[in-house]
Structure 1
Amino acid sequence: MKNSDTDVIIAGGGLAGATLALTLARVAPNLRVTVVEAFPLSADALPDSYQPSYDARSTALAWGSRLIFEELGLWSRLSEHATPIQQIHVSDRGHFGATRLNAKEYEQQALGYVVDNRWMGLCLMRELLQTNTQWQAPAEVVDMTPSEQGVSVTLKSGDDTSTVTAQCLIVADGGRSGLREKLGFQASHHGYNQNALIANITTSDSHQFVAYERFTDAGPMALLPHGSPSRAGHQSALVWTLSDNELADVLAMSESDKCQRLQERFGWRLGRFTRMGECNHYPLTLTTVGEPIRPGVALVGNAAHALHPVAGQGFNLALRGLMTLAEQFRLAAEQGRPPGDFQILRRYHELHRPDWQQTVQFSDSLIRIFGQSLAPIAAVRDAGLIGLDLLPGAKRLFARKAMGTGGRRAVINGPAASDKK
């Protein structure tokens, strides 16, 4: 690849970077896009078929995210292994307050879906390899400086380094982005003094496509239906919030003792916990970047904002941001302006900022409100949950946030618009 031979470089070919690359291939096909990814990639390495693994990590996709993937032409394949969430049950352990959301009340097939990350990645790769998107893999972006063309990007592959000039650099290398700090972006970190333990579990009772958001005095937890997209099974994806000491205790336990501890915290709504798979964990921190743009550079996905996972908002928020950015790049291409033009990136930020501010506030408030154990606060909290069930307007607003509707998404044929469903 020669200097000035690309328009957009995407640093990171994970779910966010790959989705943006595919969106740009759909909405702005004349843009030259190069994805730089640390892991090797080739068409021969993609499996012919997908066999779900019990220990597969997964992502909760809101209904609004399904609409986005439909417009990108990806949903028909993605849905082959997408477990629907038909109901959401929100409760406060030890208190009477609870609320329930049902897809039928909103005339939807589902409120959302649970999809294995590996399956989502394979679907994206298969589609991307049929576009004109260029790949530098294995390689990584290690530095960037402004240039006459926009930005001069330094790539490293093994012991070799090279320099590529582009009009815009998109940083999509995740929440622990080393590139973000290297480029001088200021990130704000708020630690929750908690850890997320992620695992798949088996229960004696079927999940019946119900997702559970359970708030306890030790922290929130979520159980999401996982497995077959058409038959209600007994496997769920667990997000369990634990303190440092609790995490160390749980990790040292046998599988049966882990199931028993989880039973004590969650209860018996799914019967007995009979199996817990491989446990992954990471510290929980709310990370935001107030100004994720500068001339020729933008942060997206977890590099721009990383949320508490229990509300399931993180990737869905990122996806809406990617659609907003792709919309601005499409408009820039139509106007003959470079995608790294600061006015283009600033317009993207202005459009996406209200969404991420509201979503961050929504997710963070849930954790703070339900983290209070004082009796007066608990009483108000329980009254609020009951009120959601009794007040249709309030419940609909809560449902819209849970379903991820109302955000912007790219439209393949015609101008992008806000989703009004």
Structure 2
Amino acid sequence: MAEFDTDILIAGGGLAGATLALALSRALPECRTTVVESFPLSPDALPDTYQPSYDARSTALAWASRNIYEALGLWPDLAPYATPIQRIHVSDRGRFGATRMSCDEQGVPALGYVVDNRWMGLSLMRALLGESAVQWRAPAEVVDVTPMTEGVSVVVSEGGEQTSMTAQCLVVADGGRSGLREKLGFNPDHTHYDQHALIANVSTANPHEFRAYERFTDTGPMALLPRGNPQRAGHESALVWTLSGDDLEEVLAASDEEKCRRLQARFGWRLGRFNRIGECSHYPLTLTTVAESVRPGIVLVGNAAHTLHPVAGQGFNLALRGLMTLVDQLRIASDKGIPLGRLDVLQAYQLTHREDWQQTVRLSDSLIQIFGAESSLLGAARDAGLVGLDLMPGARRWFARRAMGLAAKRTAPLKSVEPEGTGT
């Protein structure tokens, strides 16, 4: 096997890239990993304490994702700022249909958790500081990639200088907007929903009681996720509000009081009066997928491989499951002495992850199509479906398991990778 400067080079050190680096250090401690990140990173700049901000952006972690971080030894650090989702209420505005799911029915303490992104990032950085096999180059970026016989040659721009590195495998984990994916010749498919997601934190008169709300309306879905103290139900929730382009402009231009009034009209009074809305961010909603996300020595993960509508909160959770599947296949290859970037190794990962990927994408997209269409017949069908789901424990448990990320399998495919010359 050829000599390489590093074994795995990860382009992007965000939540997905950092999680992959940590997982590789745990599963393949002999594997040398280099993370190239565009934002400055300094171990000396990591704070000793964490003070949650009202306007902090957060991520909903499914129960299966919590299990992943527990297996990586990170959950004890995440848990103090992880708000549990103990119940989920799904409804269709203006109609009577509704479905309720609870953690008690699933036999777990929570269906999922809401964690500040900054806290997740800090926890990952602290964990990675002690991993000698993981090296960081930041601020830096991958600007060119050349395939080799058994890997890739990568040009890294850092501090105004460009240097070349060789790696067995390049993992593209720098999101869907970096341009590296397209530069490498991958062809993503885009489905534009002609909607935007407005993200903000809100306060309500009534406590959330650790309940998440998924509310479908005639202008798009909206979600409220509990956040704050994990031990005591507070009044803060993380809002995901789907709006058309025109409605988004009107809401952004409105005063905070008017924003709360508009939000009240769309969501209702289940949490009482909305009395505060924090800093708003927004982005256009697009379903982006890459049918073939691997090439010899290169693999796309996270948002570089897929970007979903946030309606079901599955994007990052799907990415996490994919990362662990990739680590599984790399470990199998390493145990057999197979180059980590060999195409059949990466294809084995794609094949194993494909069913979970396809089902999650279909579920997310179908919810938008079903609840986004307006007709009396379809509305009645939605009512019947939500009520039926609420009345049928078996169906409700099936749906809850999917939301919790427990339906996916990470077992190796039947024809797992083999060394050269054995008939793979």
Give the Å deviation of 1:149. 4.3
Name the residue aligned to 1:352: 353
Give the Å deviation of 1:408. 4.2
Local SS of the residue matching 2:30:
coil
Local SS of the residue matching 1:198:
strand
Name the residue aligned to 1:112: 112
Name the residue aligned to 2:40: 40
Name the residue aligned to 1:262: 263
Alpha-carbon distance between aligned partners in 1 of 2:97 and 2:149, rounded to the nearest angstrom: 60
Structure 2 regions of 5+ residues with no counterpart? Answer: 412-424
Name the residue aligned to 2:88: 88
Name the residue aligned to 1:363: 364
Name the residue aligned to 1:341: 342
1:220 equivalenced with 2:221 (yes/no): yes
Name the residue aligned to 2:5: 5
Letter in 2 for 1:229: P
The more displaced of 139-148 and 190-199 is 139-148
Alpha-carbon distance between aligned partners in 2 of 1:227 and 1:272, rounded to the nearest angstrom: 18
Name the residue aligned to 2:74: 74
**What is the 5 A alignment of 1:21-420?**
21-131=21-131, 132-408=133-409
Local SS of the residue matching 2:335:
helix
Contact 2:352-2:410 at 8 Å conserved across structures = no
Contact 2:11-2:171 at 8 Å conserved across structures = yes
Give the Å deviation of 1:407. 2.5
Alpha-carbon distance between aligned partners in 1 of 2:48 and 2:174, rounded to the nearest angstrom: 27
Local SS of the residue matching 1:7:
strand
Large movers: runs of 4+ above 3 Å? none
Contact 2:33-2:134 at 8 Å conserved across structures = yes
Seen in structure 2, the aligned counterparts of structure 1 residues 408 and 127 have a Cα distance that, compared at 3 Å, is farther
Alpha-carbon distance between aligned partners in 1 of 2:272 and 2:189, rounded to the nearest angstrom: 41
Letter in 1 for 2:311: V
Alpha-carbon distance between aligned partners in 2 of 1:55 and 1:300, rounded to the nearest angstrom: 28
Alpha-carbon distance between aligned partners in 1 of 2:409 and 2:373, rounded to the nearest angstrom: 34
Give the Å deviation of 1:148. 3.6
Letter in 1 for 2:89: H
Alpha-carbon distance between aligned partners in 1 of 2:52 and 2:99, rounded to the nearest angstrom: 32
String of CA shifts for 1:99-148, please: whole Å, max 9, x gaps: 00000011110000000000000000000111120111110011101124
Local SS of the residue matching 2:320:
helix
Alpha-carbon distance between aligned partners in 1 of 2:143 and 2:256, rounded to the nearest angstrom: 42
Contact 2:150-2:342 at 8 Å conserved across structures = no
The more displaced of 93-102 and 168-177 is 168-177
Give the Å deviation of 1:9. 0.1
Letter in 2 for 1:282: Y
String of CA shifts for 1:291-332, please: whole Å, max 9, x gaps: 000000000000000000121000000000000000011111
Aligned-residue CA RMSD (Å): 1.2
The more displaced of 151-160 and 318-327 is 151-160
Local SS of the residue matching 1:59:
strand
Local SS of the residue matching 1:167:
strand
Local SS of the residue matching 1:135:
strand
Structure 1 regions of 5+ residues with no counterpart? Answer: 411-421
Alpha-carbon distance between aligned partners in 1 of 2:218 and 2:263, rounded to the nearest angstrom: 14
Letter in 2 for 1:92: D
Local SS of the residue matching 2:6:
coil
Letter in 1 for 2:32: R
Letter in 2 for 1:237: A
Alpha-carbon distance between aligned partners in 2 of 1:340 and 1:287, rounded to the nearest angstrom: 25
Name the residue aligned to 1:17: 17
Name the residue aligned to 1:414: none
| Structure 1 length-normalised TM | 0.96
Alpha-carbon distance between aligned partners in 2 of 1:408 and 1:134, rounded to the nearest angstrom: 31
Letter in 2 for 1:398: F
